[in-house]
Amino acid sequence: MANDIDPRSPARLLAAALDSDLAPGQVGVVVSRAGVGKSALLVHLALDALLDDRGVMHVALRDSVEHVRSYYDEIFGGLANAGQVRDRAGSMVAAERHRMIHSYANREFSVQHLTENLRMLKEVAHFTPKLLVVDGLEPDTAASCMDGLKALGRKVGVPVWMTLRTSDGVMSDSIWEHATVALQLKADGRSVSITLKEHGAEDRTLDASLDPETMLVVGEESAPVARPAHTPRSSECTLYSGGANGAEAAFGEACEDWGVHEVNFTFEGHKQVRSRGRYELSPRELAAGDVSLVYVSRRLNRTYSEGSLIRRVLQTLWHMVSRSQQVFVVGQIQDDGTVVGGTGWSVELARMWNKSLWVYDQDQVGWFRWDGQAWVAGQPLITSIHFTGTGTRYLTDEGRAAITDLFARSFGE
């Protein structure tokens, strides 16, 4: 796939600043004090490779696999918000397929062990990375493994990017002698500056600076993706839903009344009341929408068990939202801005991927649009040919009427 990532990505800034990409066996170091943005910058570099169909092996020395995956989701969402990643769902799936994450949290890191893991991945999973990133090195660990990482890079045929945390934000000469390039990050008020260090050249601070929250380049503009200026005909539209009792069944009934196509995702053991447009996801397809329940719980400020049914429901919601430009949910908005129940994950996915998002709150008896910061009351229209309709099983008369009125308002004469 063509890499159409947001031009505000720091990967674009570095590509312009460096004479050439790192060669296999060469090492780039991102160095700073704690909390400046090293890990975020490393994920940006990895995503740039992933969205260019280049495999990435991500090695985390301090964080769990779940934490790293959630970090990628957050960074990807920030990139996609500008509208430059046009096929968000396809790009996210491609990134998952081309990425392996290995965590050394709570155990000792060794290049020998990493080498063995890469050998196994090649033989068993047919995975050969084009980029190796190592996050979380301390000065003592880095000094002892730099030669090994360089040798591994040459053996596997990949460049290596790593992060280094130091108390003063400066890299020692003993580490610098093994590196090809270094990026020294420094927090300057509301931005982060980058000083580029290369052998045989004077250190230079890049003209552009980064936003400390997103690590995107400050001041660059992105052209938004064009939105449809009119409501499409009902026969052109497709609803992605789950066909379950309650709100999903009501969305499906409205689709049938108005001639809208339906795709109702299900899985083995799932109770589905609508057969029109039934699509049973295979275990492999479900796995494409796999999410960390730890991540979901943190996003929704509630705890889920590791039971297989809730995991498959969340995976199914991923398939629904990823295929849609608009998301309509019937439920209840809580004080913290999340939506009650498992369907709240569809709301979080829509917010993360910057979808057009509307929630009908049955308690407040009204529609609310997410404007990026808060819920704003309004009246929605179906303006996209691919949309999601989901929500609570406990549908009130007002909730059912809201769905009926939405279709009449959108497709009526």
Q: Where are the domains of the chain?
A: 10-205, 234-411
Residue 2 has pLDDT above 50, yes or no: no
297 pLDDT band, cuts 50/70/90, is low
Is 234-411 CATH 2.40.50.140? Answer: no
Reported as a single tens digit per residue, the pLDDT across 22-81 is 999 999 999 999 889 999 999 999 998 988 888 999 999 988 877 787 778 778 777 765
Residue 326 has pLDDT above 80, yes or no: yes
For 113-117, 248-252, 402-406, which range has the lowest pLDDT when averaged over its residues? 113-117
Reported as a single tens digit per residue, the pLDDT across 370-398 is 987 899 999 999 988 899 999 999 999 99
Residue 227 has pLDDT above 50, yes or no: no
288 pLDDT band, cuts 50/70/90, is low
Q: What is the pLDDT of residue 127?
A: 83
Same fold, 10-205 and 234-411: yes
Q: What is the pLDDT of residue 68?
A: 83
- Average pLDDT score over the chain: 84
> If we measure between CA atoms, which residue out of 178, 206, 175, 172 comes closest to residue 192?
206
Give dist(CA 238, CA 242) in Å, integer. 13
- Residues 96-105: what's their mean pLDDT? 84
Q: What is the pLDDT of residue 167?
A: 87
Residue 311 has pLDDT above 80, yes or no: no
Reported as a single tens digit per residue, the pLDDT across 184-224 is 999 877 789 999 999 988 999 998 888 887 888 887 544 44
Q: What is the pLDDT of residue 1?
A: 34
Q: What is the pLDDT of residue 224?
A: 40
- Residues 105-121: what's their mean pLDDT? 89
Q: What is the pLDDT of residue 255?
A: 96
pTM for this predicted structure: 0.56
CB 32 within 8 A of CB 41: no
Residue 155 has pLDDT above 90, yes or no: yes
Q: Whose structure tokens read 């309509």? A: 328
> If we measure between CA atoms, which residue out of 244, 243, 246 comes closest to residue 395?
246
Residue 348 has pLDDT above 70, yes or no: yes
151 pLDDT band, cuts 50/70/90, is very high
Q: Which residue has the higher pLDDT, 131 or 220?
A: 131
Give the CATH architecture of domain 10-205.
3-Layer(aba) Sandwich (3.40)
Give dist(CA 77, CA 354) in Å, integer. 7
Q: What is the pLDDT of residue 225?
A: 37
* H, E, C per residue of the chain: CCCCCCCCCHHHHHHHHCCCCCCCCCEEEEEECCCCCHHHHHHHHHHHHHCCCCCEEEEECCCCHHHHHHHHHHHHHHHHCCCCCCCHHHHHHHHHHCEEEEECCCCCCCHHHHHHHHHHHHHHCCCCCCEEEEEEECHHHHHHHHHHHHHHHHHHCCCEEEEEECCCCCCCHHHHCCCCEEEEEEEECCEEEEEEEECCCCCEECCCCECCCCCCECCCCCCCCCCCCCCCCHHHCEEEECCCCCHHHHHHHHHHHHCCEEEEEECCCCCCCCCCCEEECCHHHHHHCCCCHHHHHHHHCCCCCCCHHHHHHHHHHHHHHHCCCEEEEEECECCCCCECCCCHHHHHHHHHCCCEEEEEECCCCEEEEECCCCEEECCCCCCCCEEEEEECCCCCHHHHHHHHHHHHHHHCC
Q: What is the pLDDT of residue 152?
A: 96
Highest mean pLDDT among 6-10, 42-46, 51-55, 316-320: 42-46
For 76-90, 176-190, 238-252, which range has the lowest pLDDT when averaged over its residues? 76-90
CB 288 within 8 A of CB 312: no
Q: Which residue has the higher pLDDT, 5 or 171?
A: 171
